[in-house]
Amino acid sequence: MQISGAWRLTARVFLPFAAGYYLSYLFRTINALIASHLSSDTGLGSADLGLLTSVYFLVFAAAQIPAGILLDRFGPRRVQSVMLLLAAVGAGVFAVSTSFLPLLIARAMIGLGVAAALTAGLKSIILWFPRERVALLNGYMVMLGSLGAVTATAPVEHLLAWMGWRQLFEILAVATGATAILIYVVVPERRVVPSIASTPATLGSVFDDRRFWRMAPLSATCIGSAWSLQGLWASPWLIDVEGLDRESLVRHLFIMSIVLSCGAWSFGTTVHHIKRRGVGAETVLATGALLFVAAELALILRVPLPSILPWSVVAIAGTATVVSFAVIADYFPPELAGRANGALNVLHFGWAFLAQYATGLILEQWSANDGHRPLQAYQVAFGLNVALQIAALVWFALPRRRSKPADDSCAQESVGLYEDSVILPPADDDAEW
């Protein structure tokens, strides 16, 4: 790939999809900062707030497989632009809603509209860039997208000082619509000719893969829980348990979001380099899971550490999608990329919904004292998540040796599929190889 062509690909393919993922991350995490405003304006309790925020994950999860099929069939350019228009409408409806049900519907529309933001970006990387660069570019994609989490802290707090959350969502609606148009106009098309192989390129071939079901529970329980915590429950914990004031809370959330962005780059770079040395991305996934569980236990057990340290690890764990999708890229061929990434994302966001909503329900079992929940409530809610993550980690580790022969045959088949796939050149000659 020539240097000039690489820069054109970056400008015309990579950056537009990164902008879409940036908005997705911003919508995902912004409720953590505006939660108090929503509660005061609409009278939402913890359970309602948990449901309102987590319905994003529920709809997002439900849309992953259909979105993946659409991405494989119609390409990321058309699918992403249409879906982002829906998110723009949802943001506009959210801005003018005054009660719980319209807010819930609007939040669901946003979740559906940005459901393909990451998988469309990953699909475009697989289609347009060399295979050996996929993990590194995935890291850059998540790093740039996670700047949406950075925006949803101190920058949004400054905006809220001179405009309401409703005006903010009006701006987001316009920005999302503009990004949809940008992707449709700027991004070129590229088609994949399916490989000729014995294994059909269907969703069933993803779900029949034993390697998928060995790594997916670990990826889902860790990444989904990290999203749940940073997207909503970090804020109440820091107020109720750590006793932070508003200024300190925003500072903590800002640091977490910066660390999150750096974590995505670190994961991508690490996977890129260790794979060149013959080490699998699964090793990075397991190591990240262990660190995440340790950080959560440090919070639950009140280990005498600065709170920002374990919360930073929680933030980094949310970017482990970079590792998980690098594993998926090794398992499946390009024509299955949308379905395979979508299947894994179903579990990521499905778990995020369950963890976020269940945490709210558990917290509701303890009465609030002057608006604050007791430490025990958070310990029970967070501890349940940790127990399930440990179970998934054990499942990931134990079957490795037992399933290796079957997995090896699948791996050979997948590599063959990947190598036999043909990516046709672009319709125009702007993007060079």
pTM: 0.72
What is the total residue count of the chain? 433
Residue 190's CB is within 10 A of a number of other CB atoms, namely: 18
**Domain chopping of the chain, boundaries:** 11-421
Return phi, psi of residue 79, to 5°. Answer: -65, -45
Give the gyration radius of the chain's Cα atoms: 21
What lies within 8 Å, CB to CB, of 208 at 6+ separation is: none
Give residue-wise pLDDT tens across range 101-128: 999 999 999 999 999 998 899 889 888 8
CATH homologous superfamily for the domain 11-421: MFS general substrate transporter like domains (1.20.1250.20)
Name the residue with tokens 């348990």: 241
Stretch (H or E) spanning 125: helix 117-128
Alpha helices in 203-332 (DSSP H): 203-207, 210-228, 234-240, 246-276, 281-300, 308-317, 321-331
Cα–Cα distance, 108 to 104 (Å, whole number): 6
Q: Which pLDDT belongs to residue 4?
A: 57
Q: Which pLDDT belongs to residue 405?
A: 38
Give residue-wise pLDDT tens across range 56-75: 888 988 898 899 889 888 88
Q: Which pLDDT belongs to residue 406?
A: 39
Give residue-wise pLDDT tens across range 363-389: 989 987 877 889 999 999 999 999 999
Sign of torsion over alpha carbons 235, 241, 247, 248:
negative
Give the burial class of 101: count Cβ atoms within 10 A of its Cβ; 0-12 exposed, 13-18 middle, 19 or more buried: exposed
Tell me: pLDDT of 410 over 70: no
Cα–Cα distance, 210 to 189 (Å, whole number): 33
Stretch (H or E) spanning 98: none
Q: Which pLDDT belongs to residue 191?
A: 63
Q: What secondary structure, in 3-state letters, does 392-413 show? A: HHHHHHCHHHHCHHHHHHHHHH
Q: Which pLDDT belongs to residue 86?
A: 97
Give residue-wise pLDDT tens across range 201-258: 677 888 888 889 999 999 999 999 998 898 778 989 999 999 998 889 888 888 988 8
